[in-house]
Amino acid sequence: MTKGLEPAICDEWLYGVLSGNATITGIVGTRVFNEIAPDDAIFPYVVFFASSPGNDYLLAGPANRLWSRAIYTVKGVAQQSSYGGNLLTLFQTFDSLLDGKTATVTRGEVVSCVRQTTVKYAEKSTDGGVPYRHLGATFIINAR
C-alpha cells in the first residue's frame, strides 16, 4: 500500500481509462481533463474530479489503513440542446468502463469503483446561444 497517495492513484486510473478508450477519444479527442477544463477548451470534453476526498478505512489503528474512499465525479460537457447524442454515449461509456471495476496502477490499487448517482444539469450560455449540458455520474472509489 502506498499511504498518502490515494488521490493520485484515483487520478492516474481515471485518466488512463478515460483517455485510453476509443469511444471517448472518438468524441472528445484528447480533451480529458482532471479537475478543471481550460477556458479555451473546445466542446465536447470530459472532466473528472474528486467531489469528496472521503474517509480512511482502518483495521485496529492508523498504521493498518485498509484503503481510502473518495467520491469522484466524471462527466461529459457539451454545448448542445439535449442530453442525447454524444453526451449520452459518453455517459453510457463511463458507466461500462468504471462501475464495478478494480485495477492496479503504477502508484497502487483501485480496490473497487461503484457508481453512486447520476449527474445531470444545464448552464446558460454566456453568449445567449445553445446552453452547456453536463451529463455523468459520481463514483465511490476505494484505493490503496
Q: How far apart are CA 87 and CA 64, in angstroms?
A: 41
pLDDT of 20 above 80: yes
Q: Is residue 125 part of a domain?
A: yes
Q: Is residue 90 part of a domain?
A: yes
Tally of domains within the chain: 1
Looking at residue 58, its pLDDT comes to 54
Q: What is the pLDDT of residues 82-139, one digit of tens each?
A: 999 999 999 999 999 999 999 999 888 999 999 999 999 999 988 778 899 999 999 9
Q: Is residue 1 part of a domain?
A: no
- Cell (9 digits) for 133: 449540458
Question: What's the CATH code of the domain at 95?
Answer: 3.30.2000.20
- Structural domain span for residue 79: 6-143
Q: What is the pLDDT of residues 38-72, one digit of tens each?
A: 999 999 999 999 988 766 655 555 556 666 889 99
Q: Is residue 127 part of a domain?
A: yes
Q: Is residue 110 part of a domain?
A: yes
Strand partners, 117: 138
Cis geometry, peptide bond prior to residue 7 (ω within 30 degrees of 0): no
Report in angstroms the alpha-carbon separations of 125 from 21, 98, 122, 131: 29, 30, 9, 5
Q: Is residue 39 part of a domain?
A: yes
pLDDT of 31 above 80: yes
